[in-house]
Structure 1
Amino acid sequence: MIKNRLKILRAERNWTQAALAKKVGISRQAVISIEKYKYTPSLELAFDIALAFNVPITDVFQKSEV
């Protein structure tokens, strides 16, 4: 499983799910699905999300042992 910190990073920046979705060119529903671990983003999308937050990809996504 790939864990993510989307919700935390969004909260730190006061971004809505819709704002993040617009920044990376996906739907708000896609952001919700990623945050709830119902969808694992492609590598390209993961890099786009990290770029939107201006952090390394490993600050957003990490592999879990679960």
Structure 2
Amino acid sequence: MFANHIKELRKQMNLTQAELAEQVGIGRTALSKIENGAYYPSAKTMKKISDVLNKPIGEIFFNTDIS
């Protein structure tokens, strides 16, 4: 299972899955699968998510600690 911190960061920014998905350019279902670790996003999608959440890719997708 692929772990990430998208859900926590998304909630900190008061964004819904639909809002974040739209800003990233993917479907809400795809975002849900990424958040739940069921789908590993492409590098392009990781970059878009990091741009919207204003966090480095490593902090979102590879860091075990979230602050």
TM-score of Structure 1 vs Structure 2, range by shorter chain: 0.7 to 0.9
Q: How far does residue 2 in structure 1 lie from its aligned partner after superposition?
A: 3.8
Q: How far does residue 41 in structure 1 lie from its aligned partner after superposition?
A: 0.1
How many Å separate the matches in 1 of 2:57 and 2:35? 15
Confirm or deny: 8 A CA contact 2:17 2:32 kept in the other structure.
Answer: yes
Higher strand share: 1
Stretches of structure 2 lacking an aligned partner (at least 5 in a row): none
Q: What whole-Å deviation, never above 9, does each CA across 1:20-43 have from its counterpart, x for those lacking one?
A: 000000000001000111100001
Percent of paired sites with the same residue: 41
TM-score normalized by the length of structure 1 = 0.88
User: What letter is aligned with 1:58?
Assistant: G
Q: Which residue of 1 aligns with 2:6?
A: 6
Match of 1:3, SS state, is: coil
User: What letter is aligned with 1:31?
Assistant: L
User: What letter is aligned with 1:29?
Assistant: T
User: What letter is aligned with 1:4?
Assistant: N
TM-score normalized by the length of structure 2 = 0.86
Stretches of structure 1 lacking an aligned partner (at least 5 in a row): none
Q: How far does residue 52 in structure 1 lie from its aligned partner after superposition?
A: 0.6
Change (3 A) 1:56 1:63: closer
Map 1:25-36 onto structure 2 (within 5 A): 25-36=25-36
